[in-house]
């Protein structure tokens, strides 16, 4: 669909469309209408799924951009004015993530598959949480890994019943919560670009810690965590590391190997 299709929806002409840095799935534009309204518009093959994920997060009380319109390959979102992250903003992000994680489903997974760029992500239900993590987050990478890494990932997958909780609360997860998918306003924060499913809330925490360390203010907003989280963290971080290795190549081999070391395999 072209941006002109938005004009009858909003009752105004599109006067500018400025490309923005976006994710791997969608083109992102800052669109201004003739009446002065501004919105973020994403164009991509999975924006309908993203709209449903954002709606689920909003229902949970998590801070996300409002969905203004979705049709075909276009998704129109509330424009968010960013500012530099503050302690209050980080605390708000922690509190928003708590609200998301307290919204639990009836099982693990998500009703539809998703993708990171060209890499498909399966979200089908599994009987146990270790089974879900093995079947949908680790084992699909085996055919694409060097033999030494594949053997180690396979060994870790087999050990997950002893390494992960069998049935943690099936929290609603953002699914890709690195710092680039958190936007900060004055004393607030929003989560963007979700890849939602239900699972252990520690998954989002591990992702947030993969490329940095959230400040104390974030933990003040989020609250306490379960004993043993440090031992589970590299197991959860292995999935995004494998995604990066598959999408971006051998520069991420060291990260994958290091996380396998930290996981004890």
pLDDT digits (tens, 9 = 90+) for 181-216: 999 998 999 999 999 999 999 999 999 999 999 999
Q: What burial class does residue 4 get, using C-beta atoms within 10 Å of its C-beta: 0-12 exposed, 13-18 middle, 19+ buried?
A: exposed
pLDDT digits (tens, 9 = 90+) for 143-159: 999 999 999 999 999 99
Whole-number pLDDT of residue 261: 98
- pLDDT at position 117 over 60: yes
Q: Which domains are assigned to the chain?
A: 3-78 (3.30.200.20), 87-263 (3.90.1200.10)
Please state at what angle helix 253-263 crosses helix 229-248, rounded to 10 degrees: 160
CA distance 130 to 164: 6
Whole-number pLDDT of residue 126: 87
User: Catalytic: 216?
Assistant: no
Helices and strands in the chain: count of H runs, count of E runs: 9, 11
- From 176, 193, 200, 204, the catalytic residue: 176
From 71, 33, 32, 31, select the one nearest 51 (Cα to Cα). 71
- pLDDT at position 230 over 80: yes
Whole-number pLDDT of residue 25: 58
């Amino acid at each position: 669909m072209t941006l002109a299709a938005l004009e009858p929806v909003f009752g105004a002409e599109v006067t500018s469309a400025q490309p923005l840095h976006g994710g791997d799935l969608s083109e992102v534009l800052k669109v201004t209408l003739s009446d002065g309204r501004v919105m973020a518009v994403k164009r991509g093959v999975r924006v309908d799924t993203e709209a449903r994920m954002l709606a689920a997060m909003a229902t949970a009380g998590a801070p996300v951009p409002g969905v203004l319109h979705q049709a075909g390959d276009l998704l129109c979102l509330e424009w968010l004015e960013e500012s530099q992250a503050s302690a209050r903003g980080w605390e708000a992000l922690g509190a928003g993530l708590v609200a998301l994680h307290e919204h639990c489903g009836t099982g693990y997974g998500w009703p539809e598959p998703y993708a990171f760029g060209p890499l498909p992500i399966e979200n089908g239900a599994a009987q146990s949480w270790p089974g879900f993590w093995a079947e949908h987050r680790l084992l699909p990478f085996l055919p694409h890994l060097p033999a030494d890494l594949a053997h180690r990932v396979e060994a870790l997958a087999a050990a997950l019943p002893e390494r992960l909780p069998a049935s943690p609360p099936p929290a609603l997860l953002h699914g890709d919560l690195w710092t680039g998918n958190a936007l900060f306003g004055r004393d607030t924060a929003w989560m963007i670009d979700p890849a939602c499913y239900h699972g252990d809330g520690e998954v989002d925490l591990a992702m947030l810690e993969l490329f940095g360390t959230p400040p104390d203010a974030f933990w003040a907003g989020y609250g306490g965590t379960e004993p043993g989280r440090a031992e589970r963290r590299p197991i959860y971080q292995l999935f995004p590391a494998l995604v990066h290795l598959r999408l971006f190549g051998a520069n991420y081999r060291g990260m994958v190997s290091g996380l396998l070391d930290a996981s004890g395999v």
